[in-house]
Structure 1
Amino acid sequence: MTKRALKIERSDDRLLSSAIGRIAKFWNLSNVKLSAVLGLSEATISRLRSGKTFLDPASKSFEAGQFLLRLFRSLDALMGSDDDAAKSWLTSHNLDLEARPIDLIDSFKGLLTVCDYVDAHRARV
Structure 2
Amino acid sequence: MPALANPQPDRATALSAAIVRIAEFWALSNAKLGVILGLSAPTVSRLKRGATELDPASKSFEAGQLLLRLFRSLDALLGSDDAAAKRWLETLNLDLGGKPIEKLDTMRGLIELCDYVDFYRARV
TM-score over 0.5 (shorter chain):
yes
In structure 2, give the amino acid aligned to 1:89. W
Runs of 4+ in 1 over 6 A off after TM superposition: none
Identity, in percent, stands at 63
- Residue 91 of structure 1 deviates from its aligned partner by 0.5
In structure 2, give the amino acid aligned to 1:15. A
Q: Higher helix fraction: Structure 1 or Structure 2?
A: 1
> Are the equivalent residues in 1 in contact too, given 2:25–2:82 (CA < 8 A)?
no
- Residue 123 of structure 1 deviates from its aligned partner by 0.4
**SS of equivalent residue, structure 1 residue 117:** helix
In 2, Cα distance between the equivalents of 1:38 and 1:119? 21
Q: Extract unaligned runs of 5+ from structure 1.
A: 1-6
Matches within 5 A, 1:9-48: 11-48=10-47
**SS of equivalent residue, structure 2 residue 60:** helix
In 1, Cα distance between the equivalents of 2:111 and 2:17? 21
Q: Extract unaligned runs of 5+ from structure 2.
A: 1-5
In 2, Cα distance between the equivalents of 1:115 and 1:123? 12
TM-score, normalised to structure 2, is 0.91
The size of the alignment, in residue pairs, is 117
| 2:56 is aligned with 1:61 | no
TM-score, normalised to structure 1, is 0.91
